[in-house]
Structure 1
Amino acid sequence: MRMIKPLVMALGLSMSFGAFADTQIKIDASKTGPVINKNIYSQFTEHLGRGIYEGLWVGPESNIPNTRGWRNDVLAALKEIQVPLLRWPGGCFADEYHWRDGIGPRDQRMVRVNTNWGGVLEDNAVGTHEFFDLVEILGAEAYVNGNLGTGTPQEMAEWLEYMTSDSKSTLAELRRKNGRDKPFRVHYFAIGNEAWGCGGNMTPEVYTNLYKQYASFLKTPKDNTPILIASGGHTEDTEWADHLTKNVKPNWALRMDAVSFHYYTLPTGSWEKKGAALGFPEAEWMSTMVNTLKMDQFIINNKKVMDKNDPEKKVGFYVDEWGTWYDVTGDDDPGFLYQQNTIRDAIVAALNFNIFHKHADRVHMSIIAQMVNVLQAMILTDKEKMILTPTYHVFNMYKPFQDATSIAIDLKKVPTYKLGKASVPSVSATAARAKDGKVYIALVNANPNAAETVDISLAGVTVNGVKGQVLTAPEMDSHNTFAEPEKVKPAPFEAKANAGKLAIEIPAKGVIVVAVE
């Protein structure tokens, strides 16, 4: 932090209007767009490595302070970023998960081999009741992923009945016997996961027919009816979104409310050797930026086919797995997907948020993978120790955008960050009017070497200045460790306006989120 504060102070001295600015940003607060759904800031926890066990769940008997088994330090950190929604139990794990394994006394639950992630024993200590306890502690919505791959329509229908029924049926009474009188609130329910891959290696045609079959039997009380999500495509593929929206209509008795989509940012673009989380060359910083910005075109392409099939935009496009994926850090089992998290990850997160805001008419949900100790995590733990990652700080800075109303933004003369034959725009920006009535602006500089000055003019709002936070770091792989847990964290930021205009310098590899004062 000592290295960041002088930089921020130096920036503060240069925040006067009149400085030369390459990027011109015009924001008209009177020109509003769709609401940025709070669930764009959602989280994902899967039975994978130390994502749940140790990272979140330590059990009621643990010496680590906990609430009914959930560790208190992690709970407090997650409450701070106002987690709007939590997805569980997978992921690939979902299509081998049998819900009856995870109910009843913990010492009597089925023990299985987790064949997807490391071949470790899964004792099902965290099951349906524990998951909903976590959701309710966080004040979040619940997204449950059903087992299409190795399950049956009966099993899926009975799980929903167990969770949602307020009747005296055998399954509802079993839930009561297991300690929960009133039904659980299931906000979202997905029929399978990655049906094109680990969920069954299906074609869109096969999956669509199975979706119809399973959805036919998913019956819940009217006041506890989840939004139903179909397993969609990934990366450049649009076939799944096209086929599903052609063949399963929304607002039938047989519903499909959303199509999912997955895309991971790999520095190299190769699954065989994805790239390092630390100590990477600038070429991999650049390739990471190039690859993560592909998200924009992937969404555009899927929206085109969905707009053709569903012009009323009744079906949402849910990016329910996204984030960076590197080669495993340290000596962890490769199946645990543990990686360090640097300022590069923070930039990736902010760039993707700005993309999701741009497409808020269809993108009503995005879920980063994953919450703790797995892939692009918010939090890393080592037994009783915990650190917050740079990605966590970006989620915290962007909180005002949850359920904010997007505002038209026009970027011109955006400079280009170049390295060899590759290039990306240096500056990304977004703006919205938050629920507190204030206009918020987020600015991102993807250039790791040079600051970028932006000249901002605002219409439709009186502006005296802006105040908020800035996140940056000295090195491309600057990160927090258990020895130095606050090496990368936000610092206060403010700038004064002149005649309603602002000149703001975004530091290299920097993220700024400010409210208009």
Structure 2
Amino acid sequence: MKKGLFLFLSGMLFLMSFGQQQAVLTIDAAAPKTTISRHIYGQFSEHLGHCIYDGYWVDEKMNVPKKDRIRLDVVAALKKIHIPNLRWPGGCFADEYHWRDGIGERSRRPKMINTHWGGVTEDNSFGTHEFLELCELLDAEPYIAGNMGSGTVEEMSRWVEYLNADGDSPMTRLRKANGRDQPWKVPFWGVGNESWGCGGNMTPEYYASEFRRYATFARNYPGAPLKKIASGANADDYNWTEVCMKNIPQHMMWGLSLHYYTVPTGNWGRKGSATSFNETEYFKTMQRCLHMEELVAKHSAIMDRYDPEKKVALVVDEWGIWTDPEPGTNPGFLYQQNSLRDALIAGTTLNIFNNHADRVRMANLAQTVNVLQALILTKGTEMLLTPTYYVFDLFKEHMDAKLLPIQLAAPGYNKDGATIPAVNASASVDSNGRVHITLVNLDADNAITVQTTLKGKPFKTVSGRILTSGKFTDINTFENKNLVKPVAFNGFKQTGAVLSVQLPRLSIVSLTLE
């Protein structure tokens, strides 16, 4: 009998012996190999609603700490969780954005209508220099989505030159005239966005051909090799991945993207409320969140056929929950509140990405501030951290740590005749030899005991933190900013190499073993 099957059957026997509120987790710490890329914990900020304007970039008269017009309390909060990269300017907006409109003297920059998001007028005061200044303040690598949809090969080529070239050329002279002598050497470069939809309604065959043309002229300059990311599939469009992997030479692309949003109702016309939902709606949302496991596995399997050495990364550069906008807000601004349910989605999704770290090497939550599953909400001079923000805080120790293989036998969470796994997990070991375990209990009714065995590595001490609340609808508000916030966790007991963890209902727990 294979070792993994033996561990799984042993776990199931344990569950049958001790009831359905027990889980068995075995972690193999003997020979870690795969690195969990820190870029899995990336973020996404589009010119959409109040993400850029009134989020990062505020009125010069606003009484908050600023550098130029960049809001520094937002920067400080994101630095605390070590965001590794930031994707910009979109999203759908990227394929109508012409970068030269966003450089030079701000008062002379042409205005534009944001046709995708609310029909508002953009003054282009936040452009290339401002974005890269923000990334430097965040200590995050920029990830720029280039305009393939309404742009030209020359436009994209010149933008890369403006960003990354040294020496003497029209673009480097223009950059210097605008106040930047040295190139930024931007590494991550998206060649189009959602080219199957808002980025041009292309067929995969046409897109693959266009990618080859655009990518050819997006040059690698000395000391600044590009990591080019192809616009990949929408959810379960496996044919798109097949065609791209078949028709784009592997040496031309660093990554292939995937977009998937958890829509509570499964209906894009009426997605469901961010704050008012019952357990049946909660359960269906978690079912749809867990679909990410199937998507990553199936897209990875297609990529494996063409790229068995896994040189091309799967880049899930848009993910998160998408609900109806908050009542009374501009529907084109996609402003939604952020509940404990959303935190459970974030923890579950990050566990999935960690466990597929051999292929998933970059991901970007949509979006960072004031839009969709935001980490931060702002209201004038006030700012709050959402439950999702705290998940990234709990999980940050996984960044660039080595993935530890796990075997998990979890009880089912049952509702209306359907069942999902109640518990999910991932584990890693960092460069200092500390083991980090993240556990999520999706069950709305039951606490679960997780009998955890760490094989191949002794440990003496355990510390932990937990994020939970009384209801899955609980949110942080400007009147009560700390309702859903991590606290110290000591609900565990060690017996030799076995750690018994009492995982409360609706909770996310991070443990460190030393």
Number of the residue aligned with 1:422:
418
- Cα offset for 1:313? 1.2
Residue 283 in 1 paired to residue 276 in 2? Answer: no
SS of structure 2 residue aligned to 1:223: coil
CA distance in 2, matches of 1:31, 1:448: 36
| In structure 1, C-alpha distance between the alignment counterparts of 2:65 and 2:436, rounded to whole Å | 37
Q: Distance in 1 between matches of 2:421 and 2:143?
A: 35
1:485 has 2:481 as partner: yes
Give the CA deviation at 1:249. Answer: 1.3
- Deviation, 1:328, is 0.4
Residue 45 (structure 1) aligned with residue 45 (structure 2): yes
Alpha-carbon contact 2:465-2:489 (below 8 Å) kept: yes
What is the count of residue pairs matched by the alignment?
496
Equivalent residues of 1:42, 1:84 under 8 A apart = yes
Partners of 2:107 and 2:418 in 1: CA distance: 55
CA contact (8 A) 2:219 2:226 kept: no
Q: CA contact under 8 A between 1:112 and 1:123: conserved in structure 2?
A: yes
Aligned 1:260-271 pairs, distance under 5 A: 260-271=257-268
* Structure 1 residues 394-433: aligned runs within 5 Å: 394-412=391-409, 414-433=410-429
CA contact (8 A) 1:21 1:503 kept: no
Q: Which residue among 268, 278, 295 is the counterpart of 2:292?
A: 295
Residues 37 and 357 of structure 2 are in contact (CA less than 8 Å); yes or no, is this contact kept in structure 1?
A: yes
C-alpha displacement of 1:220: 3.0
Shift of 1:358: 1.2
CA distance in 2, matches of 1:217, 1:504: 54
Match of 1:3 in 2: none
The aligned counterpart of 1:85 is 85
1:291-342 Cα distance to aligned partner (Å, 9 max, x none): 0100011111111111111112111110000000000013111000000000
Aligned to 1:76: 76
- Please point out which of 447, 450, 465 is paired with 1:454: 450
Which of 491, 499, 502 is equivalent to 2:499?
502
Partner SS for 1:293? helix
1:116 aligns with 2:116: yes
Give distance in 1, aligned partners of 2:377 and 2:430. 30
- 1:219-248 deviation per Cα after TM superposition (whole angstroms, max 9, x unaligned): 131311210010010211111221111111
Per mean C-alpha deviation after superposition, the further-off stretch among 460-469 and 139-148 is 460-469
In structure 1, the partner of 2:14 is none
Q: Does 1:473 align with 2:466?
A: no
Corresponding residue SS for 1:431: strand
Report how far residue 465 of structure 1 moved: 4.0
Q: What is the aligned partner in structure 2 of residue 375 from structure 1?
A: 372
Q: How many Å apart are 1:421 and its aligned residue?
A: 2.3
**Residues 493, 39 of structure 1: alpha-carbon distance in 2 compared, 3 angstrom cutoff:** same
Q: What CA distance in whole angstroms lies between the structure 1 residues aligned with 2:438 and 2:219?
A: 42
1:391 is the counterpart of 2:401 = no
Matched, 1:353 2:350: yes
Unpaired stretches in structure 1, ≥5 consecutive residues = 1-17
8 Å Cα contact 2:185/2:223 also seen in 1: no
For residues 473 and 139 of structure 2, the distance between their equivalents in structure 1, rounded to whole angstroms, comes to: 33
Does 2:459 align with 1:463? yes
Distance (Å, rounded) in 2 between the aligned partners of 1:436 and 1:33: 15
1:47-75 deviation digits (Å, cap 9, x = unpaired): 00000111111144432221121111111
1:96 match: 96
Question: Do residues 442 (structure 1) and 432 (structure 2) align?
Answer: no
Q: Percent identity?
A: 46
Question: 1:13 — aligned with what?
Answer: none
Please tell me the residue identity of whatever aligns with 1:98: H
1:229 is matched by which residue type in structure 2? I
TM-score by length of 2: 0.95
| Post-superposition CA distance 1:245-297 (Å, at most 9, x none) | 1111122xxx1111111000001111000011011111111011000100011
Q: Distance in 1 between matches of 2:445 and 2:336?
A: 24
Could you list the structure 1 runs, at least 4 aligned residues long, displaced by more than 2 angstroms after superposition: 18-21, 59-64
Secondary structure of the structure 2 residue equivalent to 1:107: helix
Which deviates the most, 84-93 or 212-221? Answer: 212-221
Residue 324 of structure 1, aligned match among 313, 321, 340: 321
Letter in 2 for 1:384: T
**Structure 2 counterpart of 1:314:** 311
**Alignment RMSD, CA only?**
1.3
Please state if 1:198 is matched with 2:194.
no
For 1:492, give the aligned amino acid: A
Does 2:176 match 1:176?
yes
SS at match of 2:274: coil
1:126-141 pair list within 5 angstroms: 126-141=126-141
What do residues 92-131 of structure 1 show as CA deviations (whole Å, max 9, x unaligned)? 0000000000000111111000000000000011100000
Letter in 1 for 2:432: D
Query: Could you tell me how far apart the structure 2 residues matched to 1:364 and 1:470 are?
Result: 26
Partner-residue secondary structure (3-state), 1:360: coil
Counterpart CA distance in 1 for 2:432 and 2:131 is 31
Report the equivalent of 1:62.
62
Q: Which residue of 1 aligns with 2:341?
A: 344
Partner of 2:155: 155
CA-CA distance at 1:436 after TM superposition: 3.2
Q: Is the 8 A contact 1:190 1:231 kept in 2?
A: yes
Distance 2:450 2:101 in 1: 55
- Cα distance in 2 between the residues matched to 1:139 and 1:100: 25
- The SS at the match of 2:451 is strand
CA contact (8 A) 1:307 1:313 kept: yes
Contact between 1:263 and 1:321, CA under 8 Å: does it hold in 2?
A: yes
Residue 244 of structure 1 pairs with residue 244 of structure 2: yes
Amino acid corresponding to residue 483 of structure 1 in structure 2: E
Once residues 445 and 433 of structure 2 are traced to their aligned partners in structure 1, the CA distance between those partners, rounded to angstroms, is: 36
Kept in 1: contact 2:401–2:428 (CA 8 A): yes
How much has 1:21 moved relative to structure 2?
6.3
CA distance, structure 2, for counterparts of residue 236 and residue 359 of structure 1: 17
When normalised by structure 1's length, the TM-score is: 0.94
CA distance in 2, matches of 1:382, 1:61: 15
